[in-house]
Amino acid sequence: MDDAMPTDNYHPERAIDEIVDFIADRVKPADFPAHILRFRNDRAAASVGLDGSDDAAWIAHYGRFEPLPDAQPEPLALRYHGHQFRVYNPDLGDGRGFLFAQLRESMDAGGRLLDLGTKGSGLTPWSRTADGRLTLKGGVREILATEMLEALGVTTSRTFSLIETGEQLVRGDEPSPTRSAVLVRLSHGHIRIGSFQRLATLGLADETRRLVAYSLKHLLVLEPGDNPALTLLEAVMSRAADLAASYMVAGFVHGVLNSDNIAITAESFDYGPWRFTPRWMPGFTAAYFDQNGLYAFARQAEAIHWNLAQLAQSLTDMAETEALIEILRRYPALYEERLIARFLWRIGFTADDPAAARAFVVAAVEALMGSEVLIDRFFFDWRRGDHDAADYEGAAWDKSRAALDGLTLRPGATDHAYWRGEAPCSMHIDEVEAIWAAIAERDDWTPLAEKVAAVRAMGEAHAGFPRP
């Protein structure tokens, strides 16, 4: 074992070999003119036994993409289709990324099969007219998104590495030329709804069965049951309802919830025009091109439900349509259940009576929608008992306070020093732009490091309580 893997937690696997014949193409990484290590996530690396690498080994594996010991020998660009803003696109696939390696995380971390996947690593057969590159700003934004979401309990990919690569890129949505980078993410799989859509569209029934079996065995870790397709859809639906709920409680807007961006594990990933809404604004959008608000803040649960229907459609050769529809019908109630559970988790309360829990969440959301109170401020204040402040005056807030009487604060919910601070940690667009400006104008990476540290401290303040 070389300097990149000094720990006993390193367990490479090649499960993807079971389906590689129909799911991927072997590709080569780009030969970049420079490699400047800008971010390494040793916390994530520790979970898969990769935290002991020196910087030279890190760059060799995650900048030049020299294969990891006993892992797959070549990168794999995955094939998939998908609905983009509800228009079917058969010309998709990994156009600027690939699957670099699969690793088994430590049992302490959960023991899942994880992928190291890339973004901005060069051209593939699916690049079309694009250049296969990632802007440095895009990489910085992905660090900020994943760190914040992880701290807020959202099941998300983790930004594993960001290396600046010394090229100048031209983009229509950034001042150009702009700096380039290659990013590596640690994800719970890259099989997505669009992976199944491609097989169904091409009439590949046997391959669909194989992908269902692979997903159940390696990603969802479930027995196939009487009907593997129904088992799969039920599991994905349950996880996806929780993902939608977690977005709402975090105040997060993904921006592009296309079916090719919905993983079978329902782990959030692939962050482009994301934003956190400062207030509870149902129509808030992240992408400038989402002119009709299809993926607006309060429509994300609907968008995910619609994508689940596309997965169900892709499984009709393996299950009766009515049985698939019956699973989809359970989504709205499950989403509401998960929304209430996650709302209480973030505010630090529990409820023995489900009706009392629902009454509080309904009242709080109504009050938030009718006020200028920031989402982060609300959870920060109410968790630590500051719900009588001037910002919370009026009948709607009175109703919320009354409903709070039916809940119980978790023991230790406010023990962390974070809750004694003056203000909550947030990730609003002005903060993101200020962090990028320091890098773009002065090559100053200190604000990014400080923000990551602050976000992780907030995550520690929420830790110690099981995620709902």
Q: What is d(CA 132, CA 116) in angstroms, rounded to the nearest whole number?
A: 17
**Nearest C-alpha neighbor of 460 from the set 427, 429, 418:** 418
Which ranges constitute the DSSP H helices of 251-330? 300-314, 321-329
Q: Are 246 and 339 in contact (CB under 8 A)?
A: no
Q: Are 316 and 208 in contact (CB under 8 A)?
A: no
Please report which helix (H) or strand (E) contains residue 354, including its range.
helix 354-369
Q: What is d(CA 466, CA 345) in angstroms, rounded to the nearest whole number?
A: 9
Q: At 193, is the secondary structure helix, strand, or coil?
A: helix
Token pair listed for 178: 């702009």
Q: What is d(CA 364, CA 390) in angstroms, rounded to the nearest whole number?
A: 16
Strand partners, 81: none
Cβ neighbours, 10 Å, residue 379: 21
Q: What is d(CA 326, CA 422) in angstroms, rounded to the nearest whole number?
A: 48
174, with CB counted inside 10 A (0-12, 13-18, 19+), is middle
What is the full DSSP assignment across 104-133?
A: EPPGGGT--EEEEEEES----TT-TTS-S-
Q: State which amino acid sits at residue 53.
A: S
Q: What is d(CA 435, CA 367) in angstroms, rounded to the nearest whole number?
A: 32
Q: What is d(CA 387, CA 309) in angstroms, rounded to the nearest whole number?
A: 41
Question: Active site residue: 51, 242, 260, 381, which one?
Answer: 260
242 is catalytic: no
What's the Rg (C-alpha) of the chain? 22
Active site amino acids: 260
